[in-house]
Structure 1
Amino acid sequence: MKIIIPMAGRGSRLRPHTLTIPKPLIPIAGKPIVHRLVEDIAGVLNQDIEEIAFIIHESFGKKVEDDLIAIAQKLGAKGTIYYQNEALGTGHAIMCAQDSLSGPAVIAYADTLIRANFDLDTNADSVIWVKQVDQPEAFGVVNLNGANEIIELVEKPKEFVSDLAVIGIYYFKDIAVLKNELQLVLDNNIIHGGEYQINDGIKQMMAKGMKFVPGEVDEWMDCGNKDVTVETNSRMLGFLHKDGIDLVDKSVRLDNSTIIPPCYIGENVILINSTVGPNVSLGNACHVQNSKIQNSLVQTHSHIKNANLDNAMIGNHANFDGNFTNVSIGDYSVLE
């Protein structure tokens, strides 16, 4: 099994945090979004992962590439890097990895996290993962027939079609079939919204009678902007805490301080006269003094004092000292 991860977009809605690293490498509960995503997919597939192909922008740099290769290797897979240097759509992004498009594979867009527990129907030509939503008119949804097969993809339907939204994760029994259809999309310049779309390849597969079925996830968490990323961090902490996973490193130093779970507290964190939690992630080597932090995400090597933070997101190597609450501070920022 292969996993294909298109992630060439920087994530402009999550600035300033994505000015220094791409959005899929933002940590959620102490682990990069894309790392959690591939782990969750591997858990659902219950199969050995042969290769993880990451489609990135060339400007991301060698350190990002090395980090991604390491993520693949932790799952026992080969890591491969491809480049999409022009924002020409989801179909174009997938075709940038065409040398890896053979055999069974999952395509997953790296701006979402899931919790799922279902058996993958490997007899189907494709599985499109979906989640029941309250406002289907805001999403792309699937239309099902009486045999629970997907017969249509409808983007933001004005009239009710179904309440099962497409979340951006797909399984293909042989992804070479999708590759051939997307090549036709590119060759014939089939464009929607100014871009080449994966849906046009999928629709051509459906027109040829291939079997598509839904795979419904239990939880679907977005990481699109600061507020929803902080919320996703809180939800993931809750799930991991419920699973009985200890998220507080043994090296954490507490001096007249309290941790209220669920929290992720990384290595060599120092807490002095502070209360942290619930729903807080503190990355490695953070120092917190005379502060109260809840429902917040702080990355690594940041120093926080005299703070009362709620719904905050703070980057790496930041210094924060002040009476602010709902903040979003990027890497190497100083507020004193």
Structure 2
Amino acid sequence: MKIIVPMAGIGSRLRPHTLTTPKPLTVIGGKPIVQRLVEDIASVIDEPIEEIAFVIGPLAKGFPANTEEKLKIIAEKLGAKGSVYVQEQALGTAHAIYCAKDSLSGPCVVAYADTLFKADFTLDTNADGAIWVKQVEDPSAFGVVNVTDGFITDFIEKPKDFVSDLAIIGIYYFKDGDKLKEEIQYLIDNDLKENGEYQLTNVLESLKQQGAKFIPGKVNSWMDCGKKDATVDTNKQVLGFEQADGNNLVSDDVVLENAEVIQPCYIGKNVVLKNTTIGPFVSIGENSVVENSTITNSLIQTNVHISNANLDNAMIGNHAKYNANYTSVSIGDYTELT
């Protein structure tokens, strides 16, 4: 089994945090979003992962020079080969997948790296494909599917009128990666664009018309990482899942000086907490210091110094300094707010 992870978007909705760190590499609960994504997929498909192919954007658009190295390490931790491709132009969902054409063969999962999920679902590898879906209140902002007798019958991209509330969350299984590549190649060769881009929904519809049968893979939780508030909420949900699984995410070397940690929390290595209450639902990255503060429901990255703060629903980037009276803040890497 192979996993293809298109992650070339610049994450403009999550700025300023994505100005220096691509959104899929944003750390939540001690792990980058993309690492949590592929780990979740591996647990659902329950079979060995041969290769993980990541499709990133150009280095000139915010992807650091060490991105390839970091991604290959993530793949290796799952016992898989890591491959990295670059999408030079944003030409749509199908085009992003096609950038990894050299890895598109055999059974594969395609997963867009801006969402996390939890699913109680066993993949039927006898099906031609599976598409993970979640019931939503407002389907007009998503691609949706109709299902009859356990099989998907229609793919509709952002319907203006109600046709279904089963939204495609951006995770797909294809039994035949070569066939997927062939259909995307046909779109590109014939310049079949929709709204100026090559759309995966058009590929899915073509495969269906040729007889491919797709089944829905339903998820229990779908966690968005698109904007600051949603990302902080995703951190909260992830920490809750970690606690339910019996995982302790507080490093053994955390220094507590008249301080308390209310679980669930993630506290990285070499963190000092003085006269402070942390939690619940707080992540603090390594090498950080928090003094004279109370922090709840917040996502804080590495090498941060916070003092005299009362934070809730906050997101603070790497190497930041904060000493102010605001509560729900969003400041990026190397920012000082005092």
The TM-score bracket by the shorter chain reads over 0.9
The question of 1:319 aligning with 2:324 is answered: no
Matches within 5 A, 1:19-30: 19-30=19-30
- In the alignment, the residues of structure 2 paired with residue 118 and residue 54 of structure 1 have an alpha-carbon distance, to the nearest angstrom, of 24
User: What SS does the aligned partner of 1:18 have?
Assistant: coil
- In the alignment, the residues of structure 2 paired with residue 85 and residue 156 of structure 1 have an alpha-carbon distance, to the nearest angstrom, of 26
1:66-124 Cα deviation digits (max 9, x unpaired): 10000000000000010101111111111111000100000000000000121101111
Instruction: Say if 1:182 and 1:200, in contact at 8 Å, map to a contact too.
Output: no
- 1:3 corresponds in structure 2 to 3
Alignment match of 2:173 (pick from 171, 174, 178) = 171
Q: Partner amino acid for 1:71?
A: I
Alignment match of 1:248 (pick from 236, 242, 250) = 250
The question of 1:267 aligning with 2:269 is answered: yes
Q: Partner amino acid for 2:203?
A: G
Alignment match of 1:118 (pick from 115, 118, 121) = 121
- 1:203 corresponds in structure 2 to 205
Matches within 5 A, 1:34-45: 34-45=34-45
- In the alignment, the residues of structure 2 paired with residue 202 and residue 26 of structure 1 have an alpha-carbon distance, to the nearest angstrom, of 30
- In the alignment, the residues of structure 2 paired with residue 303 and residue 130 of structure 1 have an alpha-carbon distance, to the nearest angstrom, of 40
- In the alignment, the residues of structure 2 paired with residue 98 and residue 205 of structure 1 have an alpha-carbon distance, to the nearest angstrom, of 17
1:248-295 Cα deviation digits (max 9, x unpaired): 010101000111111111101100000101110000011000001011
The question of 1:233 aligning with 2:235 is answered: yes
- In the alignment, the residues of structure 1 paired with residue 111 and residue 234 of structure 2 have an alpha-carbon distance, to the nearest angstrom, of 18
The question of 1:49 aligning with 2:49 is answered: yes
Alignment match of 1:109 (pick from 112, 120, 128) = 112
Instruction: Say if 2:134 and 2:219, in contact at 8 Å, map to a contact too.
Output: yes
Residue 136 (structure 1) shift = 2.4
- 2:260 corresponds in structure 1 to 258
- In the alignment, the residues of structure 2 paired with residue 210 and residue 245 of structure 1 have an alpha-carbon distance, to the nearest angstrom, of 41
Matches within 5 A, 1:216-231: 216-231=218-233
- In the alignment, the residues of structure 1 paired with residue 213 and residue 29 of structure 2 have an alpha-carbon distance, to the nearest angstrom, of 37
Q: Partner amino acid for 1:198?
A: L
- 1:143 corresponds in structure 2 to 146
Q: Is the alpha carbon distance of 1:159 and 1:58 closer, same or farther for their aligned partners in structure 2, counting shifts above 3 Å?
A: closer
CA RMSD between the two structures: 0.9
Residue 64 (structure 1) shift = 1.1
Residue 242 (structure 1) shift = 1.1
1:283-328 Cα deviation digits (max 9, x unpaired): 0011000001011000000000000111100000111111111111
Alignment match of 1:279 (pick from 278, 281, 285) = 281
Listed as ranges, the gaps of 5+ residues in structure 2 are: none
- In the alignment, the residues of structure 1 paired with residue 237 and residue 210 of structure 2 have an alpha-carbon distance, to the nearest angstrom, of 41
Residue 137 (structure 1) shift = 3.0
Instruction: Say if 2:188 and 2:198, in contact at 8 Å, map to a contact too.
Output: yes
The question of 1:70 aligning with 2:73 is answered: yes
- 1:334 corresponds in structure 2 to 336
- In the alignment, the residues of structure 2 paired with residue 86 and residue 134 of structure 1 have an alpha-carbon distance, to the nearest angstrom, of 33
Residue 156 (structure 1) shift = 2.6
Residue 154 (structure 1) shift = 1.2
User: What SS does the aligned partner of 1:19 have?
Assistant: coil
- In the alignment, the residues of structure 1 paired with residue 106 and residue 67 of structure 2 have an alpha-carbon distance, to the nearest angstrom, of 27
User: What SS does the aligned partner of 2:66 have?
Assistant: helix
Alignment match of 2:187 (pick from 181, 185, 188) = 185
- In the alignment, the residues of structure 2 paired with residue 156 and residue 87 of structure 1 have an alpha-carbon distance, to the nearest angstrom, of 19
- In the alignment, the residues of structure 2 paired with residue 139 and residue 188 of structure 1 have an alpha-carbon distance, to the nearest angstrom, of 26
Q: Partner amino acid for 1:16?
A: P
Q: Percent identity?
A: 61
- In the alignment, the residues of structure 2 paired with residue 115 and residue 175 of structure 1 have an alpha-carbon distance, to the nearest angstrom, of 24
Q: Partner amino acid for 1:288?
A: V
- In the alignment, the residues of structure 1 paired with residue 254 and residue 323 of structure 2 have an alpha-carbon distance, to the nearest angstrom, of 21
Residue 148 (structure 1) shift = 1.2
- In the alignment, the residues of structure 1 paired with residue 45 and residue 157 of structure 2 have an alpha-carbon distance, to the nearest angstrom, of 27
Q: Partner amino acid for 1:91?
A: A
- 2:155 corresponds in structure 1 to 153
Matches within 5 A, 1:6-17: 6-17=6-17
